Structure 1
Amino acid sequence: MSTPIDYGKLMHRAMRGLIQEVLQGVQDNGLPGAHHFFITFDTTHPDAQLADWLRDRYPQEMTVVMQHWFDGLEVGEDGFAVTLNFGDSPEPLYIPYDAIQTFVDPSVEFGLRFDSHSDDEDDDPDPSDDADFTEAEEEHHDAEVVSLDSFRKH
C-alpha cells in the first residue's frame, strides 16, 4: 500500500523555509523600511530556549516583536537565535521553526499561521487544514485566508 502525500507537512516545511529565508535576509541586511515581525511561538517546545522568568510568565505561547531593537540575530537550519528587550532587560531566545505558530509582518499585511498539531498524529482527516496562508490586517487583529486560486495562471 502506498503512503498518501502529506500536503500539510509539505506546506509547513515550505512556509518555515520562507520564514528562514526572510530572517536570513534580515540577518544579512537588517530590517528594510517599515518591515517588522510579530512571531508567536510555543514556549513548551523542547528546543525553545528562553529565560526561566519568561517561561514562567508565558507557560504556553509567547509573541515577540522584532522591530526597533534586536541584537545577535543568528539564523540556523532548525531555528533562530535573537536577543530582544523585555522591559529594559535584554534576553537571548532560541526559537525553533517548528515552534512557530504565527509569523506576521503587518507593514505589508502578510502573515502565516500554523495550526498546532503533532507531526506524528495520523488521525487528522484533512492534512491540508494544517497550514493556512493568511493575510494579516490591522496590526495582527484579524486574519483572512487567501485562496490559492488567485495565484493560478489561467
Structure 2
Amino acid sequence: MARIEAKLAKMGLPLPRALQMPVNIQMSLPFAWVRVRGTRAFVSGHVPLNPDGTIAKPVGKVGAEVSPDEGYAAAKLVALAQLASLRTALGDLDRITAWLRIFAMVNVAPGFDQMPRIANGFSDLILELYGPDIGTHARSAVGVALPLNVPVECEAEVEVDGQTS
C-alpha cells in the first residue's frame, strides 16, 4: 500500500466514492474533477462527502445550522474527497510532490467571520498526511453562498511528479 493511503488507513479515514448527486437535483457537471497539465494538477471544488459519495450532513450555514466544529469536520471531509479524486487521476497519492494552493469557500451565516478556522480542517489533514515539506500550501478562505447548501467547498492546486499513472 502506498505511504499516504497507509496513513489514511491507520487514521481510520476512508476515501469516499465520487459525488453521488441527490436524486431530486437535476444539475449538469461538465468539468473534470482533476485536470492534470504537466506537473500540475488542478482540483475542482469538492464538497464534504460520506464514504458512499453522498453529501455529508449537516448542511447549512456555518454560524447558524452548522457549528464551527462541524464546519471544521466538513472541511476535513472535503480534503478526503479531493484525495479520492486525485488518487483516481494520478493512480497514487504519493505522486503529489507539493500542495501549492487551497481556496476554501465557507457557507456562512450573517456576521460569521471565522472562515480560516473552518478551512483549517482541510489544511490540518493535508499537513498531517504529507508533512510540512509537501503539505504546506498557500490558502484563502472566504464566505459565500454554496450550492446544495453545503457548509464548505474547496479547490486546490498540487504539483505532481512527471511519471504517468
Structure ID, larger Rg: 1
TM-score past 0.5 threshold = no
Q: TM-score, normalised by structure 2?
A: 0.25
With CA pairs under 8 Å and 6+ residues apart, which has the higher RCO, 1 or 2? 2
Greater strand share, structure number? 1
